[in-house]
Structure formats: structure tokens, C-alpha cells
Amino acid sequence: MDELNNYYIKTNRTFTIVRKYAWIFTFMVAIGGLWEPRLGVLVIGIMSGLIGTSFFSGRHWCGNFCPHGSLFDNIINPISLNKKIPLFLKSKWFIGAFFLFFTINFSRKLFRIAALWGTYSFIERLGYIFVNTYLMVLVVGGAVALLVNSRTWCQFCPMGTLQKLSYRLGKTVGVVKHTEKRITIESKDKCHTCGKCARVCPFQLTPYLEFNENNQFDNINCIKCTTCVENCPANLLSLETERKAVNIIQMSDVKGYENRQEIESTLMEINDLGGDLKEFVFRFENPTKVHYKAGQFILVKIQDNPVQYRAYSISSANEDDKILKIIIKRVKNGYGTEIIFRFNVGDKVILEGPMGNHLVPGEDTKKMLFIANGIGITPFIGLAKESLSKGSSVESVKLLNGQRYVADFIYHDYFKELQKEYDNFEYLPAASREEQEQEDLYKGYVTGLLKEIDITGHKVYMCGSGAMIKECYEILLSKGTPSEDIFFESEERIKLSA
């Protein structure tokens, strides 16, 4: 996991006003309390809240309301070294020992001021105890957050331990089963096994490897912050109760994932397509034949510990069920592509799939409009060939291919040859930044080209940047294309290369 220093990803974790600004409370108590100690008494309310909510929902408070958590996520995370949290800080013996030390020290201080009960000085001295505690967390917790990982302190935080104790009590009496919301995956069959949920997790947990029979992440340390939900490239995660999770399983559509399997393959060819693009050609070994459809995607295994794959659109048309091609764009400092671009011809590579149905046209589709930009052109290399091979059953296939410059077009001649070979195929390339005029090349964005062509009766399949898909979707609706005839797969979602 430490082969590259960019495994863990810094990303936004503050999705609510409370999570964004609750850190102000920490400074108010820790710093302001030095002049007005009674501010520390407010911490009693914080403790009551975290213990009370954890009885019903585990460490939800830690991920959504904790002032220190807000400080770590919003203020320190952007400048943290973001390293792997040492395992001993997560160990039961260290957490237990630190909790015991904290409890004894805190109780000793309370015992010292017990004689002042009922006096004005008692409130002030009690507040000062909490002020000192908050100041200690600010200094120590802030230091380890900077030097290791922003949520390092939370691994052994005494308040976190109290939450877990309260949660276990709630679980014992059966309350949690009905009230707790957990990270839930729509379908394990659809999971890309990309590990991004682990890479963005503040606690560096591994949800994708631990979903239970109800497709829920049942880990006592999960703080329900939904960072993994926001960052799942396949949009499969949500925060749900157990009852809702069961309903999600029953309603999940797994069409396009029925043939998912582990495939042993040999890397036959690596073709340089210019720039940061390479084409990888795999031959199936076990099984020797795998049926896939153009428009689906495949998972490529990049490591064993923890197991992780990367998802890439299939670029080949399936002619004999024996080989498969993918095109990958290298991303600077990208964790996945840095590994894959070190593959060599002859390497044994584990694949998994095929998967997906967003870009697979129905058998009765007569008119098709393919829209792509950037690396999103990949699936249409195979789709165009496969759709046209159906012969007279397909009336029209149009391909809009948007790139920045002429040099960015891949398989450009291939598409032009298809246009010559098939009367029902129209290839419409567009270059948004090319300065020189080019014959048969639209100068501008693919969205501008879309506005000019006739798409009546066409079902639309899009792949590319999220911005392009969003704008094209609005244009298509304005031109009268029914929403149920628009299908898309964002390369930003399917191709996790960072």
C-alpha cells in the first residue's frame, strides 16, 4: 500500500454547515476559556450529546457534529501530511490504556474541586478543567493531525471510546438495529473494487472489503461522515438503516453484471497511441473464452494487499470471445495508472467482469447517436463496429467525437474508414482549440455540433467529462429527445485512475 505516497486522498469532508464551522467552538473553549473558564462548562452538553446519540447511531456524532472533527477535517486536513495512521494507535491495548489514563487524570481533577460544590468557584474551576482538556486536544490532536493524518487523534480519543461503549450498550438492548444508519452498497456485484472508499476514509477503513450480508459496513469505528458516499465513482453507496438496506438489495438492477467473473489473462500487446495514451490488449487464459458486449467495462487488478482493481471501458468489438482491448490515459501521480503503465507484454493479469449496461444499445435500437469527448471515445471504438455489423437492422449511427486538438484524436482514421464502408454511419469530429482550419472537422465544442445536427428518433449514448454530459443532456431535452432515450457513463466515474 505504501509503494506510492499518494494512496490516501485528501477530499472535502464538510458537507453541512455544522461540520464546516463547528471548529469555532473548539477555539472558543480552548482559547477563550483561558480568560473565561466558565465557557468550559458548555463541554458537558457536548459530552451528553455524543454519549446519547451513540446509543442509537454509533460514532455518528464524531463524523457529523464533533467540534474537534470539524477542526481536523476543515482546517487541518488540507495541510496535513496525510500519512498512514500507525496501527498501534488503533490497537485495543493503546486505546484502552489511554482511556484509563485520561479517566484517572480527569477524575482526580474533579475530586480536587468536589469540596467547592455549591459555590461560585466550583463552576469556574469545573469549566477550567474542560478548558484545559480542550486546549490539550487542540495542541496534541492538532500536532498529530498535521504530522500524520488529520483524524489520528480520533483513533484513541477518550470521547470516541465513550461513544463505542454507549453504542455497544445500545446494540445489546437491540435499539441499534432499528435506529443506526450504516454505509450501504446498492449491490456488491456492481462494486468496482477500486478502493476509493478506503482511500478517502478519514479513519482509513476499508468498506469495500467488509460489507455484510445486508450490504452494510458494520464497523464500530465508522463515523458515518459519508465521505465515501460522496466519492464512490460508481455512485453505489448511501447511508441507510438495515431495513432500508434490505429494500435496496431487492430493488437493485444487476442487468449487465450477470456474467461478472474473475479472468486470468495474458497481456499480449501494449500500443502507444501518443501522448499519455496506451492501448492494452489481453488474451483470456482461464476461462479461454469470455463473452462481453461493446459498451461494457472491465476491471484490471492492480494489487493484492489490499486487493484493488481499476475500471476501464472496453474499446474492442467482441469477435471471438478470446481477446479484449482497453485504452488508458496516464494520469500524473495517479495511483492506478502508475502501476498499470509498468505492466509488460507477457505479464499475467487478473481481470474481472464484464460489467455494465449503460452504453449497451438494445437489440431493437434502429437509430443511435454516440457522443464522446476526451478519453470517453474509448467505448465507441467497439460500439460503432458492433452496431454497424448488425447490417440492415440499424438505420443510422452517428458519432460525435470532441477533442481539443487534431493530435488528440485516437482511432481517427479507423472511424473515417468505417464511414466510407457503411452508408448508415456518420462520423463527426470536433476540435475545440485547434487554430488551423481542417477539412471535415468542426471547429468548436461537441456541444455546439450537437445543436446543429438532426437527431430525430435517435437513442443517445454519451461518455466523457461530467460537464460535457450535463450540457449535452440539456441540449438533447431541448431538442425533444425523451429522457428515457438518453444513456450515459461519465469517464470521471467509471475510470478511477487517480
Chain segment 256-265, per-residue pLDDT in tens = 899 999 999 9
In this prediction, what percent of the chain has a pLDDT beyond 70?
A: 96
pTM score, two decimals? 0.88
Mean pLDDT across the chain, nearest whole number?
92
Q: Which of 35-44, 110-119, 417-426 has the lowest mean pLDDT?
A: 110-119
Asked whether 146 and 75 are in contact (CB, 8 A), the reply is no
Bridge partners for 371 per DSSP: 400, 462
Average pLDDT over residues 95-122: 92
Q: How far apart are CA 369 and CA 347, in angstroms?
A: 37
Q: How do 277-286 and 297-304 pair as beta strands? A: unpaired
Identify the sign of the CA torsion 299, 303, 304, 305.
negative
Helices (H) and strands (E) in the chain, counts: 19, 14
In the three-class reduction of DSSP (H, G, I as helix; E, B as strand; rest coil), residue 376 is classed as helix
**292 compared with 493, residue with greater pLDDT:** 292
Nearest to 239 by CA among 197, 209, 199, 203: 197
Q: State the DSSP string of 393-438.
A: G--EEEEEEEESSGGG-SSHHHHHHHHHH-TTEEEEEEESS--S--
- The DSSP call for residue 355 is E
Residue 498 in this model has a pLDDT that exceeds 60: no
Q: How do 261-274 and 425-431 pair as beta strands? A: unpaired
Residue 345 in this model has a pLDDT that exceeds 50: yes
Other beta carbons within 10 Å of 399: 24
pLDDT level of residue 170 (50, 70, 90 thresholds): very high
Residue with cell 467547592: 116
Domains in the chain, please, with CATH? 17-171 (no CATH), 181-251 (3.30.70), 261-355 (2.40.30.10), 367-494 (3.40.50.80)
Q: What is the pLDDT of residue 491?
A: 54
Residue 333 in this model has a pLDDT that exceeds 90: no
Residues 6+ apart with CB under 8 A from 477: 483, 486
Q: What is the pLDDT of residue 364?
A: 85
pLDDT level of residue 438 (50, 70, 90 thresholds): confident
Distance of CA 118 to the CA centre of its chain: 54
Residue with cell 501494449: 270
Asked whether 189 and 84 are in contact (CB, 8 A), the reply is no
Q: What is the pLDDT of residue 331?
A: 83
Nearest to 149 by CA among 244, 220, 83: 83
Model confidence over 442-459: pLDDT tens digits? 898 999 999 999 999 999
> Beta-strand (E) ranges in 244-333?
261-274, 277-286, 297-304, 307-313, 323-329
Model confidence over 203-250: pLDDT tens digits? 999 999 999 999 999 999 999 999 999 999 889 999 999 999 999 999
Residue 496 in this model has a pLDDT that exceeds 70: no
Q: State the DSSP string of 30-44.
A: HTGGGT-GGGGGGHH
Bridge partners for 411 per DSSP: none
Q: How far apart are CA 452 and CA 448, in angstroms?
A: 7
Q: What is the pLDDT of residue 70?
A: 97
Bridge partners for 496 per DSSP: none
